[in-house]
Amino acid sequence: MKKTIIILIVAFLLPNFSIGQGITLKPVCSVSFMHGGKGMVRMNGYLYSLDYYNALQRTNLATGENAQLGKEFFTDVRFFFGLRNRLYIIASDGATKQIDINTGESRLVLSAGSWTEVARVITVGNDLFTVRNGTLCYHATMHPDKYKELGDPEFFTSMSLLYTDSTLHSVIDKTVYQIDTRNGEWKKVSTDKAWRNFLSGAVIKDKLYSVENPGSLVVTTLKDGIRKVLDDKQFVQSRMLFPDNGKLYYINQDYKLFEIVLPE
């Protein structure tokens, strides 16, 4: 009788939470050069990252092959992002360099004084957004002063942003929201503070994958908010989770890169 009561209580407290089958971590390569680096960009099956010497590295996510691109050292990096098959670095004075993804060669496209009022740079597919004075802004071009404000100033609070080729989500105050990039409106996903143990996350199609303290991988269906634990052992040493081309990747504390093979 007591055992039955306990089971009923657990079922009542966790109505949207279930345990799934385990997943497999497929080793890709070591990316230890990222230790102390200043950012990364995933694009078209490659991971572009700035290493501890501020040189540009390119890693093939399918084969693990890695190479340094170009000979330049980008010592002043405020923002590092990718857009329309190009990489960009914005320096602390606003000067902007465009980088060729094949050669690593860069050229100055905007002089100092540009982008100085920008707090964040966000790319969703081929669209460029910034955050200015807490407001999401859409840029049809790379011109820093030509933009359209979207929605209310809701970006003053620090938050994690998860973006794909078509969607933008935020994790703020342990709650997940979807942000409509057409008008800046926020829509809550599931219940308040359901992600109280959130460490990192990635969105693939209609599912949010999150690593949650102390080291579980959880998947949430964004339509109905139903959450399922996929693994509760292999993600204790988590550093980063990210998607690319419909696949999910993971970097641990030792800067080892894995593809997460999800259960069918």
Per-residue pLDDT tens over the stretch 25-73? 999 999 999 999 999 999 999 999 999 999 999 999 999 999 999 999 9
Do 92 and 76 meet the contact criterion of CB atoms below 8 Å apart? Answer: yes
In a domain, 9, yes or no: no
Match 């980063």 to its residue by tokens.
240
Structure tokens at 8: 């009923």
Whether the pLDDT of residue 3 is over 50: the answer is no
Of residues 157, 135, 142, the one with CA closest to residue 109:
142
For residue 189, pLDDT over 90 is answered with no
CATH of the domain at 253: 2.120.10.30
Start-to-end CA span in the chain (Å): 37
Answer yes or no: is 142 within a domain: yes
Instruction: Please give the pLDDT value at position 22.
Output: 67
The DSSP call for residue 226 is -
pLDDT (mean) for 222-250: 92
User: What band does 23 get if pLDDT is binned at 50, 70 and 90?
Assistant: confident
Does 181 map to a domain?
Answer: yes
- pLDDT band, residue 8 (cuts 50/70/90): very low
**Apex 114 CA angle, 111 and 119, nearest 5:** 145
Is 8 a member of any domain? Answer: no
Residue 12 belongs to some domain of the structure:
no
Asked, for residue 217, whether it belongs to a domain, the answer is: yes
Please, what is the Cα angle at 257 between 101 and 123, to 5 degrees?
Answer: 45
Total count of domains within the chain? 1
> Is the pLDDT reported for residue 171 higher than 60?
yes
Provide the domain limits for residue 244.
Answer: 17-261
In a domain, 5, yes or no: no
User: Is 6 inside any structural domain?
Assistant: no
Q: Tell me the pLDDT tens digit for each residue of 93-103.
A: 999 999 999 99
